[in-house]
Structure 1
């Protein structure tokens, strides 16, 4: 896949960072997008060590003009876009009755509208390249609960958005899928456990050990495992797969 170009958002940490490093095996050039430039530079160093080119864009995709700037920079640097991986988007895990309008709007602006705007902006280039889009959702899309209402609601919207884009993509030759990870041990999850543990009179170690059993899984997933699925979805092997929603969750979802 030499000379092909991928945009990875949320590339400064967690699944986004692991995905960027994994894609360096298959893509010649990567456009890395997130808000933290220092961490983006660390990702870029790993990408370059793996043999790919990289540019970093420290932008907030919640801002309406950021999406077009990403596309303009990608095309200016590399001349094409073959894959877009919409991974950015931290949504606060706050109870349904405690969330403010500002917190709802913040989650929607980055994860949902950021992905929507960037996909629209990149679409002409993706169409020209017969490219691929992956939208990052999460298992909470399938079982939204009051303690993390915004996460479940926005993740469900991401799945619907990906399905709508995939419908347009059939005519335009652009492949679009969504991914629903289960509990993955990222820095963000570690921070959540550090917050959650004292509220339930536990140590962080106890909380960390307890969660997989309560979720009905054997262990946490690793960002590198999700990255492998992302890489598959933008590879030639998955080219006929579009409009699909793929779970990778260690068996957390028990329904058929």
Structure 2
């Protein structure tokens, strides 16, 4: 394993955790950033068991100084950055008429501005290493719904932001792509299904089935499947692939 360093935000659970564990197979060091320190420490132990050196950073990416903290700690410890995967940022799925300005701003601040600030702060190191950046958006970017207005709006903004960074990356030698997952079975997804089951007075399995029928897919995706895709995107065989929005959704998006 050559000396290489990847930063993964939102690394305490779900797609972020799966991505960190996948990259631990190819990178010598993994920087784990998230708010849940206890879960993050556990992921750090798993990363170490896979043979990579972890750096655990418990912090909130909504803080204006968080990006500087992550990059400075990474450079001080490892001296380089080869990949940045921006996963952090759960957005509330609320009706467009119900969301307050604070709820809109919170979603945008963490998922959009948090990723934007971190990418900018890491850019010089990524330029030096000819590294890679991956943003996580979601199918709501192209399937916007009134009941999840912020999710769609912020995911669409993320995809546009990634395209902008990708254009700059062509000049600077930094590869930038975004990954758009469909319905992934995370703890957050399970909570949504449980809430729907309780509201409708149906079983959990019935609620899961109803969601799959509505999405037009055969099953939920697994976080590890997203991690595997990201592992490919930041690997040498994918190096000419930049500015792409890669949808991995079991066929949910039907448009061309």
Band of TM-score, shorter chain: over 0.9
Q: Distance in 1 between matches of 2:96 and 2:195?
A: 18
Query: Which TM-score applies when normalising by structure 1?
Result: 0.99
Give secondary structure in 2 for the equivalent of 1:76. Answer: helix
Give secondary structure in 2 for the equivalent of 1:150. Answer: helix
Deviates most, 207-216 or 177-186: 207-216
1:40 equivalent in structure 2: 40
Give secondary structure in 2 for the equivalent of 1:220. Answer: coil
Give secondary structure in 1 for the equivalent of 2:76. Answer: helix
1:237 equivalent in structure 2: 237
1:94 equivalent in structure 2: 94
1:64 equivalent in structure 2: 64
Give the CA deviation at 1:96.
0.6
Give secondary structure in 1 for the equivalent of 2:126. Answer: helix
Matched pairs, number? 256
| CA RMSD, Structure 1 to Structure 2 (Å) | 0.8
Give secondary structure in 2 for the equivalent of 1:8. Answer: strand
Give secondary structure in 2 for the equivalent of 1:40. Answer: helix
2:116 equivalent in structure 1: 116
Give the CA deviation at 1:155.
0.2
Q: Distance in 2 between matches of 1:200 and 1:241?
A: 44
2:52 equivalent in structure 1: 52
Q: Distance in 2 between matches of 1:105 and 1:144?
A: 18
Cα deviation 1:112-146 (Å, max 9, x = unaligned): 00000000000000000000000000010011110
Q: Distance in 2 between matches of 1:29 and 1:249?
A: 29
Q: Distance in 2 between matches of 1:89 and 1:204?
A: 26
Q: Distance in 1 between matches of 2:46 and 2:208?
A: 28
2:209 equivalent in structure 1: 209
Query: Which TM-score applies when normalising by structure 2?
Result: 0.99
1:178 equivalent in structure 2: 178
Cα deviation 1:139-195 (Å, max 9, x = unaligned): 100111100000000000000000000000000000000000000000010111112
1:225 equivalent in structure 2: 225
Structure 2 unmatched runs, 5+: none
Give the CA deviation at 1:210.
2.0
Give secondary structure in 1 for the equivalent of 2:180. Answer: strand
